[in-house]
Amino acid sequence: MDNDPDVLSLFGGYLRANGLYTVLTGTGRACLDEVKKFKKRFDIIILDTDLYDQKGVEVAKDINLENILLKPFRLFQLLSTVKHAISRINNIGLKDHVLASYQSPTDEIQDAVQFLKNGIKNNECVMIVARRDSGLDEISEAFTVNGIDAGKLMSNNSLLLVDNKEWYIPDEKVDKHRIIDQWNDLVNRSLVSGKKGLRAFCMMDTFFEHNFVEELVDYEHELPPRFDNPFLAICAYKQSDLDKLSNSQRARMVECHNPVWIQN
């Protein structure tokens, strides 16, 4: 929203060129009308601070939306803010069972940090089940860069960092019922401690490293696509590992997750 047509054209063209759908308005009243007309939540609303009919901050007070960006800002800041607001990570919540694939560890850790950061903000216990080669120190450093005091959160058990082999295959075999009991116990402990629930980012490559692929599929298929308790899990896979699955194994994996973020 901006009262300068040239600025509107610039912003609209820039965002559309980056694959984003936009609605442009020139007044505060028109902005509020569009919000009501669409009858759905916009991912982000960009407001000019000084309009002909209303101040941008006054319009913001009339809209129940967290992602509101006020000028001044630079175009790269605009695109970064918009992409964050529409991130798939921001559109999942407790009880979702997510299947995600990653081409690079960097993308994986970026998603993990944003995912866990959202959980901390929502008063959830957060957990990362990490591979050894990712380095727990590296993950802790990523938290620090993103404004998360990992040490403080770990000290009061709000943040748990666990080795994935120790969590899933502690005695060199896969016991799916033991793993599920572990999750249920941790969810209950989270609730008792005053948290809204538990969210976990789980790096699953340890099953492939130790040749437990069929056991992995059986374990995943034992879980529902939507949990009954306040538990949110992202099962994070290397794309190269998922490519090793047979068509039937892949189909079983997809059946027990929702949403599914993998390449076809």
94-144: per-residue pLDDT in tens? 999 999 999 888 888 888 888 988 999 899 999 999 887 655 667 777 777
DSSP letters of 67-101? -EEESP--HHHHHHHHHHHT-GGGG--TTBEEEEE
- Single-letter code of the amino acid located at 208: F
d(CA 48, CA 55): 8
User: Is the pTM above the cut of 0.75?
Assistant: no
Question: Maximum Cα–Cα distance for the chain, whole Å?
Answer: 69
Pairing of strands 260-261, 198-203: unpaired
φ, ψ (nearest 5 deg) of residue 255: -55, -35
d(CA 237, CA 108): 9
Q: Give the helix/strand (H/E) hosting 185.
A: helix 176-192
Close Cβ partners of 93 (under 8 Å, ≥ 6 residues apart) = 232
Tens of pLDDT, residue by residue over 12-63, are 787 777 666 778 887 777 877 777 776 455 667 777 655 544 555 566 566 5
d(CA 232, CA 199): 4
